[in-house]
Amino acid sequence: MDDIEEYKALTSVFSAYYHFHQWEYDQLIKPRGIKYNSLPPDEQRLLPWYTQHTESLKQAINTNKQFTQFVALTICKQFGIEESPSSWYEAGHDDFDKVRSILLQLKREWGDEGEHERLVFERMICELNHKYPDFSARQHVNVLLPGCGLGRLVFEVVRNGYRAQGNEFSYHMLIMANFMLNFCSHPFQIHPYLHKFSNVCNRADQLRSVVILNHAGGTNGFEQLMLAHPDVPFMELMSMAAGSFTDLYGPDSLTTNSTSPNEFRATNKAHFEAVLTCFFLDTASNIIEYLKTIAYCLKKSGIWINLGPLLWHFENDFNTSHITLPSGEQVPTIMKGLELSRADLIQLIEDMGFQFEKMDTHEQRTVTIYAADPRLLSNFTYHCEFWICSQ
């Protein structure tokens, strides 16, 4: 990406955060007004609560606005962007919709209501701690977390004493992760459930707020932990790398982006004692590239811990492009097309040189929701695969 494109990409995301309330208003409030005004008076009288609920939705949108605007204005400076929203590029519908889903992701990773969803993080850390029981020695254990979303698992891995690097390629996520990891030292209220009207049991459920907080956020971050473990330099243990997993951590042969940092990639060769993939594997368009990348950046004695479903993200993506084969021949390719079954994936992992050390059986699989309202009358539940591999 050149500088102008990068500026455009970044500022349109900041605009999505800054003007999110306007989009919420258009999505939620406007259609309700039109519908209500189109009802004959006798039908309106049958819904005496309707206008008050719309007012409550407006108030909740305003609370979200306080938060999302604060995030945009706080984090733009970190990215070297001027604090003047009127000069930023406009956000599109997809950008706004991603902010909507990030409010739910905030609930998952940092919200008081997200505890149950975060059990999967605990499970992964538990396995890591089993392998590295000596807390003081963990600062020498490099852990990579690709597709780390809003950074909670990275943060928890550091709290357990490891040197952790999060990797994420979405600006929408990176901006909020930066806020949560570095600036959220007091509680914020958000309303993440406003946007769904189907399967709602009570209006109050839709309006309820979630409190998000990172107790250790802000500059004084890990002070309490440092008192308990004075020999562990918590403040130095966390880092984030922005960019595509395969570009940043894979072998040169996988690089799709000619401007990606070759030197950074070279330093990652056999660098990590552990790679933790949480709800990440199925984001691959080509799972073989992800596996090659894990094999490349993992130390020979290292472990790969995976937890997540096989909901292949590109299954419905027919976008095509061209790719150059090692022979030099250019051929068309497509985003979808490598959605493997569990059995075929397991075989592939073994064929690529990994050994399974532990794996949940079908009956043991973790069943969980993902960034959703647990009080809805109907929810998508994920049946997660869990395994530990060595190579």
| Interface with ligand SAM (CB under 6 A) | 108-109, 146-149, 167-170, 173, 244-245, 278-280, 283
Q: Which residue's C-beta sits nearest to ligand SAM? A: 147
* 123 versus 208: smaller Cβ distance to ligand SAM: 123
- Least spacing, CB of residue 228 vs ligand SAM, in Å: 27
Structure-derived torsion over alpha carbons of residues 24, 27, 32, 38, reported in degrees to the nearest 10: 140
- Least spacing, CB of residue 118 vs ligand SAM, in Å: 9
* 61 versus 309: smaller Cβ distance to ligand SAM: 309
Q: Residue 260 phi/psi, 5° resolution?
A: -70, 150
* 55 versus 115: smaller Cβ distance to ligand SAM: 115
292 neighbors 352 (Cβ within 8 angstroms): yes
* 108 versus 265: smaller Cβ distance to ligand SAM: 108
- Measured CA distances, 42 to 33, 38, 54, 89, 173 (Å): 17, 12, 19, 46, 47
Comparing CA positions, the residue from 280, 302, 291, 266 lying closest to residue 141 is 302
Comparing CA positions, the residue from 286, 282, 292, 290 lying closest to residue 338 is 286
Q: Is 261 helix (H, G, I), strand (E, B) or coil?
A: coil
**Which residue shows structure tokens 């407006």?**
58
* 61 versus 174: smaller Cβ distance to ligand SAM: 174
* 61 versus 295: smaller Cβ distance to ligand SAM: 295
Write out the DSSP string of 195-259.
Answer: T--TT-S-HHHHH--EEE--TT-STTTTHHHHHH-TTS-GGGSEEEEES-HHHHHS-GGG---TT
Task: Please give the distance of CA 235 from its chain centroid, rounded to a whole number.
Answer: 22
- Least spacing, CB of residue 166 vs ligand SAM, in Å: 9
The helices-and-strands tally (H runs, E runs) of the chain is: 15, 12
* 160 versus 167: smaller Cβ distance to ligand SAM: 167
- Least spacing, CB of residue 245 vs ligand SAM, in Å: 4
- Least spacing, CB of residue 12 vs ligand SAM, in Å: 16
- Cα(110)–Cα(112) distance, integer angstroms: 7
- Least spacing, CB of residue 25 vs ligand SAM, in Å: 27
- Cα(348)–Cα(360) distance, integer angstroms: 18
- Cα(159)–Cα(99) distance, integer angstroms: 27
Residues belonging to the chain: 391
- Least spacing, CB of residue 56 vs ligand SAM, in Å: 29
* 235 versus 242: smaller Cβ distance to ligand SAM: 242
- Least spacing, CB of residue 361 vs ligand SAM, in Å: 22
- Cα(114)–Cα(106) distance, integer angstroms: 8
- Cα(253)–Cα(189) distance, integer angstroms: 46
- Least spacing, CB of residue 30 vs ligand SAM, in Å: 30
* 54 versus 366: smaller Cβ distance to ligand SAM: 366
